[in-house]
Amino acid sequence: MGKLPEKFPEYSIMYKTISKQIKLLENTKVDLEENTIKIQNYQRELDKIKEKFPDNYFDEFDSS
């Protein structure tokens, strides 16, 4: 496994939290346009977090 970032526990928690929020927004039927914008913003944050970790580190989180 590659080197983990200095604050990896916090990033892992942020990743899980943001992923859950995306799933909630995807299942919400109210204001779909606003939800789409929020999901895109959250996805950008997830991508930034993923870049700090070794490849495939978050695969187990994504599959659940």
Q: Are 62 and 19 in contact (CB under 8 A)?
A: yes
Sign of the dihedral through C-alpha 51, 56, 58, 61: positive
Q: What is the pLDDT of residue 46?
A: 93
Whether the model pTM is above 0.85: no
64 pLDDT more than 60: no
Tell me: the pLDDT tens digits for 12-60?
899 999 999 999 999 988 888 899 999 999 999 999 998 888 888 887 7
Instruction: State how far the Cα of 55 lies from the Cα of 50, in Å rounded to an integer.
Output: 8
Residue 2 has pLDDT above 80, yes or no: no
Alpha carbons 22 and 16: distance in angstroms, whole number? 10
DSSP for residue 31: -
Number of residues assigned to the chain:
64
